[in-house]
Amino acid sequence: MTSFPVLTSLLLLPLAGTGLCLLFRRKPDLCRALTLATTLVMLALCAWVFCQQPDAAGWYLREDYPWIERLGARFTLAMDGLSLLMVVLTAFLQVIAVLISWHQKKHPAFFYALLLLMEAGILGVFLASDLLLFYLFWEVMLIPMFFLIGIWGHGRRVYAAVKFFLFTLAGSLLMLLAIIGLYLLHGKQTGDYSFALEALKHTDCGAWEPWLYAGFMLGFLVKVPVVPLHTWLPDAHTVAPAAGSLDLAGLLLKTGVFGILRFAFPLFPQSAAASLPLLAFLALVGLFYAAWCAYIQGDVKRLIAYSSVSHLGVIMLGLAAANVLALEGAILLMLCHGLTTGALFALVSMLRRRTGTRELAKLGGMWQEAPIFSCFFLFFALASLGLPGLANFSGEILVFAGTFQVRPLWGALAVVGVVFAAAYILRMVQELLWGERPAGRPWPDLTTLEVVALAPLVFFTLWLGLYPETFLAHLHLPVKILLEQAAPLVAAHGGLP
């Protein structure tokens, strides 16, 4: 590996971008160009890392600097296959986010600065392998999103922003206690107090393990939105601006699942194994409930928000099945969901900019008006439906295959869930694209800038649909290591139905 600290620069670049944007807040065009440049450089860096080969233990890059000696916390960033995919997704979606919010009128410099700050926060979450550092980034990424929803949102933005912030933060405060508990238990057993993930994996927490595991999981499940804790998501989405909801759906939800895979499962394998049936139940409930809610939604954006909750249900099911196939499928689905739902949100924001409304009742007959917009919309709607050959299908098929191997009953129920997904997606498409066109001014079609923003999404959705192996190759090693470390997880699936 080169000596150049790639990972730290991945974090510092957006921070530098934020600083520059705030500096030149008088000149929005300069800020816009600067933000785009920063995101593109980030994407280039990620692409370069993407072509590297991991070392034996599956780490691509690893950087470790002293941070707080007194507590034993170190500034350690590590990237393995799992975090590599997530980082690439983040960099890619940020470029799209900047493109679709190119004509930002209200406080543009502040907007771009927050976008970059959020990117730094999210990358920090995916890269940190020191618990304190992870928690620091876990909460830092909330602040920019809070401001994005609050200032640039439309509709009941204050309520949604405060609800989003309080929900996720309250959940993560208990996680803080769990981190402290684990840190102290480890320190008492081995004498050296440290937050390093590798070191903390070997502490046998004994009676405390279920509590600590519950603390961690609460923080993550609020973020994933598993059904009982999901009420903040639809409000946040319907209110968030275009780039905000793109990042929210594409990235912030993934940090929850990533947290479970990277921290909860390896640290507490016994209680994780015991909780798998509960996770599966929540996942399935989430799948059906969200799909059912999506069906009756009037607002397009709220409908897509519920659809992402149901997709997250499928991902959680993959986690609950916890074998090689299901886990790889779940991670791949995370990637595909990020692309398709992100694209759908971008399209909805373009729709709103044109027609001024998102109510399906007031819309219809888009095909005659804006054919290019409609075919993009149809393409991504079908992709998120799970049409074979497009992105989501490859992820979902792996998850179902893995689940069938372990729990045929769960698998069967999940497949029925896909039918529900088809129902609400097709209803949305029918009402939006083909109904009769209400009176009013003609709606202009997509501008070239918007097409340029959507084209790479189409390309990657197809790539993921047709040949996902390029991305799956990076996952084989981390998933194998994860399952070795969390041995009881695999052994957990005895004779359950």
Partner 1 sequence: MENLVQLAMQNVNFAAIMPSLVLCCFGMAILLINVFMPRGKTTSASLISIIALLVTAVVSLQGWNNPQFGFAGHVALDNFATFFNMTFLLAAGLTILMSDDYLRREGYPIGEYYPLILFSTAGAMWMASGTDLMTIFLGLEVLSISLYILAGMFRHQLQSNEAGLKYFLLGAFSTGFLLYGIALLYGVAGTTNVADIGLYLSAHPAMIGNPMTVAGMLLMSIGFLFKIAAAPFHMWTPDVYQGAPTPVTAFMSAGPKAAAFAALMRIFILGLAGLQSEWTSLLWGLAILTMIIGNVTAIYQTNLKRMLAYSSIAHAGYALVGLVAANAVGVSGILFYMLAYTFMNLGAFAVLVLAGKKGEENLTLEGFSGFGFKRPFLGVAMTIFLLSLMGIPPTAGFAGKFYIFAGAIKSGYIWLAIIGVLNSAVSLYYYLRVIVYMYFKDPQEDYSWVSMHTGAVVSIVIAIVGVLYLGIIPGKIMEMAKLAIF
Residues that bind partner 1 (CB under 8 A): 25, 66-71, 107, 132, 135-140, 142-143, 147, 150-151, 157-158, 161-162, 165-166, 169-170, 173-174, 176-177, 180-181, 183-184
CB-nearer residue toward partner 1: 139 or 445: 139
Give, for 75, the enclosing helix (H) or strand (E). strand 73-80
Closest of 390, 374, 372, 387 to residue 430, by C-alpha = 374
Are 240 and 100 in contact by the 8 Å Cβ rule? The answer is no
Closest of 226, 243, 248, 426 to residue 311, by C-alpha = 226
Give 430's contacts (C-beta < 8 A, 6+ positions apart): none
Q: In the beta sheet, which residues pair with residue 74?
A: 66
Rounded least distance, CB 203 to partner 1, Å = 15
Are 346 and 379 in contact by the 8 Å Cβ rule? The answer is no
CB-nearer residue toward partner 1: 107 or 201: 107
476 phi, psi to nearest 5 deg = -55, -50
Structure tokens belonging to residue 419:
């039918």
Rounded least distance, CB 272 to partner 1, Å = 22
Rounded least distance, CB 161 to partner 1, Å = 7
Residues in the chain, how many?
497
CB-nearer residue toward partner 1: 181 or 456: 181
338 phi, psi to nearest 5 deg = -55, -45
Q: Is 107 left (phi over 0), alpha (psi -120 to 50) or beta?
A: left
CB-nearer residue toward partner 1: 137 or 258: 137
Strands 59-68 and 73-80, how do they pair? Answer: antiparallel
155 phi, psi to nearest 5 deg = 90, -150
Structure tokens belonging to residue 120:
């730094």
Closest of 217, 98, 89, 239 to residue 162, by C-alpha = 239
Closest of 120, 5, 12, 136 to residue 62, by C-alpha = 5
Residue with tokens 């992105």: 391
Rounded least distance, CB 155 to partner 1, Å = 12
Closest of 172, 180, 178, 264 to residue 222, by C-alpha = 172
Rounded least distance, CB 70 to partner 1, Å = 4
**CA pair distance 478, 389, nearest whole angstrom:** 26
Give 180's contacts (C-beta < 8 A, 6+ positions apart): none
CB-nearer residue toward partner 1: 137 or 400: 137
Task: Give residue 334's Cα distance to chain centre.
Answer: 7
Rounded least distance, CB 207 to partner 1, Å = 12
Rounded least distance, CB 204 to partner 1, Å = 18
Structure tokens belonging to residue 424:
């609400």
CB-nearer residue toward partner 1: 70 or 105: 70
Rounded least distance, CB 11 to partner 1, Å = 12
**CA pair distance 496, 378, nearest whole angstrom:** 40
CB-nearer residue toward partner 1: 68 or 466: 68
CB-nearer residue toward partner 1: 181 or 364: 181
Rounded least distance, CB 31 to partner 1, Å = 14
CB-nearer residue toward partner 1: 46 or 149: 149
Rounded least distance, CB 348 to partner 1, Å = 23
Are 76 and 62 in contact by the 8 Å Cβ rule? The answer is yes
CB-nearer residue toward partner 1: 77 or 279: 77
Residue with tokens 């079609």: 445
Rounded least distance, CB 290 to partner 1, Å = 26
CB-nearer residue toward partner 1: 117 or 233: 117
CB-nearer residue toward partner 1: 40 or 169: 169
Rounded least distance, CB 232 to partner 1, Å = 14
Structure tokens belonging to residue 34:
């600067």
Rounded least distance, CB 211 to partner 1, Å = 9
Closest of 185, 330, 337 to residue 265, by C-alpha = 330
**CA pair distance 118, 436, nearest whole angstrom:** 41
CB-nearer residue toward partner 1: 22 or 95: 22
